Structure 1
């Protein structure tokens, strides 16, 4: 058993190093967290355990012990720690048990030199004190593992007359350490470590007395742990619960901000629709808005001019001939046509070329089809409404300049007839348009 453990320990250490290297590669470069640390400690070694069993000597003594360890933190809650401890254990029968009896073991005192004690331990942080604090200052942990202890024992009738036990050979036994501890963060790189470990020995020769029961010894210690690495924070103090909570708060704040922005846009669109409806209101349904109708209340079916008044004489039917010059007037108007962002309000820079289109319609009595188009940004309903409103806005402007409303048709197609891709800003700009078709 001991030989197998000797063989496994180098592999365990290698696994610790390889696992640390792999995890270090996974750490985000923007905010590295330190995962390696070393610790030194000192405390009290005693040949007893409060976890059960009887002591071979009635009077156990406390002796100074010291140790060091190297630790690899894999998650905020789990790490592997390689511990080493040295010191002395001693006891005698100078005082009786509580029952008043003295041990009958033929030995009056012992002293054990703990030459080495090495173990690989799994350490679990049981909980963080504040789950909403990103980096805590106090942790409680538990540990358990396995290792080897090497020691030499002296026995005798009294503490002053001890002689080597087992020919003064170093005895090696398997140990199983189980412990509890508390850790306090003193700074970003230094922790105060307080702990207590009970070591169960796979043998009954720790004190030189055999009583058909394995021996145990305790180590209560205090020490300092030093974080290794370039990062400012230690993974052991890192609290993913708090980070998740912060991210949830940020997401909620972002969602609230977006909702407020959408509500403001809806209110702005509703106000715009009201203005357009008021501008395009046509009570007598003659194709001329009330604001521009100089002859309100004309009977249904009456042919009116651009001012809403009945035509006295019908215009003679003429063959429509559209020249290249006419098309250039329309093309220039299309190129210069601009609206306010997300609205159907025509910008002033577009008036001059639209005026020339209106003059052309009046002069040659052309008919004109206005087709509004948008890109695919936003909902289908909003895009259909916006494309229709923009086409109607152009019609209203041309009519205001004297064009015949009955010869102008305004239609909105939304995003349904793109002329370019909607995956690029240039493509979306090309798709936001109002097409003019003379006939």
Structure 2
């Protein structure tokens, strides 16, 4: 039996690998000229960069396990660092979260937070984390309402929770789901290694996309790039084929739709189970500075500014991430580069003579909106049509729009197909 997988992002790749492991036949089609979806390689200034800077955390167990199964060496692909972040704000002192290996977790995090930021900040942070479990089981409200309910200070809301909410959910505090954010907090701080940062040392396209592509080819799977699916063929509530935009018919026993929410909604029409497939953008501004320039740490946080997170990619290349909607979207690329550079100059992160050139990547539909009630609005893996399965990060799981969520959903679709094939 053949499974057609529509979409060569991380979810589609995860589904393809897991099906091939069980001896299933797969055909993966991708509309772009390369695999990777919204986490793929881009060439700029004679160097390979990411289509938007990403950060992994140790809690991404399924993604790391998939890479391991494909023969990847984590230490070659990622720099794993213990929790240690500094977030700057123009109106407050730097806020720091760090761990120490000399004490058991989470006592080590609690004591270090107290030492670095004072007792009042320590109490507020750990009160929110402690109460996250009860919020996760309560009626959903906005993250902003939850933070106010928990008596979080203006400083912590602006300097810690807002940048974390935007980084993990790409949704502003006023509309983001408190239940989903609570789960993110619980997972991130559940154990020491879950809170680790895994910063890519190679372009993301050289991680899962490259390893999965090689495995698919080795196992006899078929990959068709620059192939766009226009519609599905459904007879008697059973999917039988897909039609490409150039008139080709691709027959299959099962089809997994592993595209972004917007494309999935267009393909599935009345079979789409979500009420809302709207999305928020993420902008990454790459700044090439003098090659000997380095940040104080591989990642720095900024709050109260347009710039939110800055990553040191080595050789003077900085990646500045701006998540969610905002006035920055109205700026031209040149204006945005100038604006971001000025913010880094104001905080003494770079000096005027060090900046050489900049490049802007705008992912307009970067992630689905993780709004209040989103947990009950997301589609499930099984569609109403026999043989038709849904993947991609928007499909219902406990994560917001992350690469981990995409991998989980791709593997789940594969598991359901194998289960049905075993029964039949």
Band of TM-score, shorter chain = under 0.3
Instruction: Compare CA radii of gyration and give the structure with the larger one.
Output: 1
Which fold has the larger relative contact order, with Cα–Cα distance below 8 Å and residues 6 or more apart in sequence? 2
TM-score scaled by structure 2?
A: 0.18
Bigger strand fraction: 1
TM-score by length of 1: 0.17
